[in-house]
Amino acid sequence: MLLFFKYNTLRLIGRTIAFVVMALLLCQYAIAQDTLINRAFISGEHLGYKLNYSSSLGEFNAGMADVDVGILKKRDTVNGQVRTLYHITGTGNSNRFFDFFYKVRDHFETFVDSATLLPVRFIRQTHEGHYIFNDDVTFDRETGTVVSRHKQIPIPDNVHDIISSVYFMRTLNLDDFGTDSTYYFNFFLDDSVYHSVVKVLGRELLETKWGLIPCLKLMPMMATGEVFAKKYPVTMWVTDDSNHVPVRAEARIIVGAVTMELTGFSGLKNPDGSVLNWKTGNAR
């Protein structure tokens, strides 16, 4: 079995784990910097996920990921006004078995304006195999630029980072999104602004550890190449309720498939209306 998992194969799987985590965090709808009403999440929310790899030989646990929401106050150095920011932290780690071949230790932080849900700062610490990349990015909405450790570039008004984008998407009224609709979005990563799209495929009952969960089914466009053979290789599901919690993501790759499944949650903003809480018996 160990001989089967040659380094290049495990390296590809490891990169895919990182891409799936990223894909789960890459859904947002283009919109201007207006004040938004957040009915989807609050400080104290925690989401936990497991990462699995499957092939013709079976399914194997590859690692885990966690996302947590906090809150803080920050005084603007220019006008002295105090802003409330969401501090959202995401981590993705491979397990001991995969560490032997391709170690993944990804850590992301975003600081999001609670009024616009746009990021003001993004921190990235990436360790994937021999690849190590750290960055600290500041979004300057006044000048329309983003400054990283490596360069400064102009950005669109609505650009997000990979963490803030999914939390922005969760606040939207997805009832307004028609089946088979395509939505364009922008995100900043690796000193570049990327333009991509998300397809909304409709509603579906998803089989989970808690039983069948009503979900919205989405498909983001990803770059083709070494990892993905198609532009839309990733499918994801979010709960069909006001929380819009990401429940599952699946990625078909050249050597099998990688899945990311919700394993635990707490601190939801709308516990009474949560389809997850009703299934687990936690609704009040």
Domain ranges of the chain: 7-280
Q: Looking at this protein, which amino acid is placed at residue 200?
A: V
Confidence class for position 58, pLDDT limits 50, 70, 90:
confident
Per-residue pLDDT tens over the stretch 155-194: 888 888 988 888 887 887 766 666 666 777 788 888 888 7
| Burial of residue 252, with CB atoms counted within 10 A of its CB: 0-12 exposed, 13-18 middle, 19 or more buried | middle
Residue percentage of the chain with pLDDT more than 90: 33
Evaluate if residue 112 carries a pLDDT over 90.
Answer: yes
Which pLDDT value is given to residue 177? 62
* 149 token code pair: 């450790």
Mean pLDDT check: name the lowest of 4-13, 112-121, 176-185, 256-265: 4-13
Which pLDDT value is given to residue 45? 96
Evaluate if residue 13 carries a pLDDT over 70.
Answer: no
DSSP state letter for 176: G
Which pLDDT value is given to residue 266? 94
DSSP state letter for 43: T
How many helices (H) and strands (E) are present in the chain, helices listed first?
Answer: 4, 14
Q: How far is CA 19 from CA 24, 167, 180, 224, in A?
A: 9, 18, 24, 12
CB 174 within 8 A of CB 244: yes
Residue of higher predicted confidence among 17 and 145: 145
Which pLDDT value is given to residue 174? 65
Which residue from 118, 120, 123 is spatially nearest to 106, judged by alpha carbons? 123
Pick the most confident of 24-28, 172-176, 192-196, 263-267: 263-267
Residue of higher predicted confidence among 52 and 26: 52
H helix or E strand, kind and range, residue 131: strand 131-140
Confidence class for position 79, pLDDT limits 50, 70, 90:
low
Q: How far is CA 124 from CA 54, 107, 133, 189, in A?
A: 28, 6, 8, 10
184 CB neighbour count, 10 Å cutoff: 12
Mean pLDDT over each residue of the chain, to the nearest integer? 78
Q: Tell me what the mean pLDDT of segment 214-223 comes to.
A: 77
